[in-house]
Amino acid sequence: MIILKIWSVLQWYLRPFIKWFLRKTTRLCELQRICYGEQAGAPRTCSVEKSLMLSRTQCVKEIVTYLDNVVNERRFVSEYFTDILDPSISIIMRAKKINPKLHESFSVSFRKCLESIWSYKSLIIAIEELRCCQFDSNNSEHEKKLLRLWDLLVPDDKLEARVTKKWQHIGFQGDDPKTDFRGMGILGLENLLFFATEYPQASSHVLSHSLHPKYGYTFAIVGINLTSMAYYLLQDGSAKTYMFNARNHLPSINLFHRFYCYLFFEFDKMWIESKPENIMEFSIIFKRFENAIRTELADPATVFRINIEIDTI
């Protein structure tokens, strides 16, 4: 640990000299070397972000602050990208002495990185708002979403009452699901509903596993636990690998939901493959699953896809 701290301090002091040396030998600034040399997606975008955050160039620091403020003001949306990013890119290219006519491809690559970096920051704010919004049974929209979840998961069994033990069939703890959403707020319901809506075959498959007489588990409660996991992976930056490697998609709530769906489907596979003795093994298997996901996300080349395989157990 001490050696790592010493190395980190040395890097901080040596960084300007290393950058100067590489600029002289390659005739390219650090941002150019990244955009031309790193693989598109998470490898390139994460490296650009690190370079910008560590920059000691005053105008670059000001651009970073400006873009952060735009995000905090909820103005970092696609329709404003031209007005926000074009001047920012021009200022940075001028400061780094990058000729826009000679390095047009750099401008394109760099712009994509900026879009992803600050879309991710915008997403963190949007997800936090959903998490802090508590489920309210007096809110008609909340109630509609909850009842829609039941209809999607159990289409052949209509609810006879709003408060009923039937909710336990899809993995809620009691007669009224509203108490189970306290930790993750409406975000937990939005995740479950997205899974059931966008991946009906996969969600039905996972629900059938949760009802298995020997290896069953509480579908909805596990789903809310996975919402918590996805939330913290987003907050600590681990989810950047997934978000930045999603082709033709910027970080968004929709992409966060798809990340959650991947986690749910993959956790279900691990649970069944583990053949647990009982539900008491949940915390052990869940932690093992989280560690496996974090290991995969540590590789910036990782790409997650939902591969549905119907099995019988």
| pLDDT, tens only, 230-250 | 999 999 999 999 999 998 899
> Which residue type occupies 219?
F
Each domain of the chain, given as residue ranges in start order, spans 2-131, 136-297
Chain mean pLDDT for the chain: 91
Span 188-211, average pLDDT: 96
pLDDT score for 75: 96
pLDDT score for 312: 47
Q: What percent of the chain has pLDDT over 90?
A: 81
Span 72-79, average pLDDT: 96
Any residues with CB less than 8 A from the CB of 264 and at least 6 apart, and which? Answer: 195, 203, 206, 222, 223, 226
pLDDT score for 247: 84
Rg (CA), the chain: 23
Q: Which of these ranges, 44-58, 91-105, 137-151, has the smallest mean pLDDT?
A: 91-105
pLDDT score for 101: 86
Task: Choose between 29 and 148: higher pLDDT.
Answer: 148
**Under 8 Å between Cβ of 175 and 165:** yes
Residue 201, Ramachandran bin (φ over 0: left; ψ between -120 and 50: alpha; else beta): alpha
pLDDT score for 103: 83
Which tens digits make up the pLDDT trace of 41-74? Answer: 999 999 999 999 999 999 999 999 999 999 999 9
Token representation of residue 195: 């899974």
Nearest 5 degrees, angle CA 154-CA 160-CA 166?
50
**Residue 173: other Cβ atoms inside 10 A:** 13
Q: Is the pLDDT of residue 220 over 80?
A: yes
pLDDT score for 19: 56
pTM for the full model?
0.90
CA neighbor of 217 nearest in space, from 158, 156, 278, 264: 278
pLDDT score for 23: 54
Span 280-296, average pLDDT: 96
CA neighbor of 299 nearest in space, from 241, 243, 225, 252: 241
